Amino acid sequence: MIHTEPMTSRMETPFAVFLIGMRVNRPLHVHRWLPALMAMPRMLKELYAHPEYGLLSHEMWFSRNVIVVQYWRSFEALMNYAAAKDSEHLPAWKAFNRDNAGTDVLGIWHETYVIAPGSYENVYVNMPAFGLGRAGRLVQARSELRWAPGRMRSAS
């Protein structure tokens, strides 16, 4: 559903934003980078099947650089999933390290941010629920929520 009226997303508690990606440095070495690329959909499927892990939502973009933005209930939930011995993450991480040791075929990276209420703002116009708008509670951006300073103030 496309929301034609300006919308903003509200989160009542702190949350974590996790950015993770990979960069294919040697496109012809498919046997090295494809397994890492295929691991992310398996992890996302597992995370959505088990909401108790704490993933709220994600967005993904593909090009030479693959980027996944994930919204988590908390930093602790993200760390617990990363360390869970029975999750899809640990085997994928071990396989990446085994298959890419000593090569520059594939680069990987991640960044984690813990966001407190009152320290973010967002707006979506002519968009379906997207990004934080899928992770949080979408409300119409009216009155003080119409402008960035008001959205920032009202989030605290």
Domain regions of the chain by residue span: 18-113
Q: What is the model's pTM?
A: 0.91
- Fold exhibited by the domain 18-113: Alpha-Beta Plaits (3.30.70)
pLDDT band at 118 (very low <50, low <70, confident <90, very high): confident
CA distance 85 to 114: 24
pLDDT digits (tens, 9 = 90+) for 78-87: 999 999 999 9
Question: Which range, of 23-27, 58-62, 66-70, 97-101, averages the lowest pLDDT?
Answer: 97-101
Give pLDDT, residue 129.
Answer: 94
Query: Which band of pLDDT confidence, cut at 50, 70 and 90, is reported for residue 153?
Result: confident
SS (H, E, C) 75-131: HHHHHHHHHCCCCCHHHHHHHHHHHHCCCCCEEEEEEEEEECCCCCCCCECCECCCC
What pLDDT is stored for residue 53 in this prediction? 97
Residue 64 predicted with pLDDT over 90 = no
Indicate whether 111 pLDDT > 70.
Answer: yes
For residues 125-150, b (16+ Cβ closer than 10 Å) or e, as one string? eebebbbbbbbbebeebeeebeeeeb
pLDDT score recorded for residue 156 = 62
What is the model's pLDDT at position 66? 94
Question: What is the predicted pLDDT for the residue at 155?
Answer: 65
Q: What's the one-letter identity of residue 64?
A: R
91 pLDDT above the threshold of 90: yes
